[in-house]
Homo-oligomer: A and B are copies of this chain.
Amino acid sequence: MANAALSAGPRPGDGYVQSFARGLDVIRSFSAAAPRQTLTDVAARSGLTRAGARRILLTLQALGYVRSDGRHYALTPRILDLGFAYLSSMPIWNLAEPVMERLVDQVKESCSAAVLDGTDIVYVLRVPTRKIMSIGLGVGSRLPAACTSMGRVLLAGLPDTEVEALLRAAPPAAHTRHTLTDPEAVLAKVRQARRQGWCLVNQELEEGLVSLAAPIVNRAGETVAALNISGQANRTPPRQMQELMLPALLAAAADISKRLLA
């Protein structure tokens, strides 16, 4: 869906939109590095005046999204309801998990599902394997689309003009000595993913990490998510990963796509 109705609505400059945006920014100012913040911390991290930050914090507190001992503020678990509203509204969310669990049993590597959000992919489901060195990416984690297998499969679901615009908006950054940073080279990989219906990325995000992805497609033929398996290059060389695991991954992605139609 495009932002067709946007022109008729409020603009980022509107007072109302701005205050709502600031409220959400205050929520996002909490993190592992800042789990409990003073008013001063919140104001600094979200670029607000102390008075503005105070008004928003007290609003969030009145609504039960923030708690305070008078000096420090922290988020409450009620915040999760918001993300849960999104996850449970995804058609694939309930359908995909059992299929992903069977895939993990089969290939003995972790399996994840992600969707595209601008130039990022966002993890929406993850079934970890029990191995040491399993990759710690929980639901809600973001990675750049350009250098990940799920990202390239998701970009392959867009027209080339949109992919080019996204690559211009966020030029691919180097994460390892293998990362493709030339937009043309990334676009070529995206086109290859589109032609072959899957994608392998070899250590472009992290040294040693190899990842294989396939698209999940709805009844309108749109790519709505990507499914991946990731493993360690020193344990399973990329060629072997492709031979051993690609058929199972493609079957799982096709199975989930078929369930979406039902």
A residues with a Cβ closer than 8 A to B are: 1-6, 8-12, 14, 16-17, 19-21, 23-24, 27-32, 34-36, 54-65, 67-70, 72, 74-91, 93-94, 97, 101, 104-105, 115, 117-118, 122, 124, 127-128, 130, 136, 138-142
Report the nearest B residue to A117, measured CB to CB: B77
* Complex Cα–Cα for A67 and B6 (A): 9
Question: What would 12 more interface pairs be, CB under 8 Å, given A5-B68, A19-B19, A81-B140?
Answer: A1-B72, A2-B69, A5-B58, A12-B63, A16-B59, A20-B56, A23-B23, A31-B85, A79-B86, A80-B86, A94-B136, A138-B139
Offer 20 A-B interface pairs, CB within 8 angstroms, sorted by A.
Answer: A3-B61, A3-B67, A4-B68, A4-B69, A6-B61, A9-B57, A10-B59, A20-B56, A20-B59, A30-B85, A32-B89, A35-B89, A64-B118, A74-B89, A76-B86, A80-B139, A83-B84, A84-B141, A101-B128, A101-B130
Given known pairs A63-B24, A117-B76, the reply for A138 and B69 (CB within 8 Å) is no
Report the nearest B residue to A1, measured CB to CB: B69
A55: min CB distance to chain B, Å? 7
A31: chain B residues within 8 A (beta carbon): 85, 88-89
* Complex Cα–Cα for A130 and B69 (A): 42
A126: min CB distance to chain B, Å? 10
A158: min CB distance to chain B, Å? 14
* Complex Cα–Cα for A122 and B83 (A): 13
A28: chain B residues within 8 A (beta carbon): 81-82, 85
A92: min CB distance to chain B, Å? 11
Given known pairs A75-B86, A77-B86, A86-B80, the reply for A63 and B101 (CB within 8 Å) is no
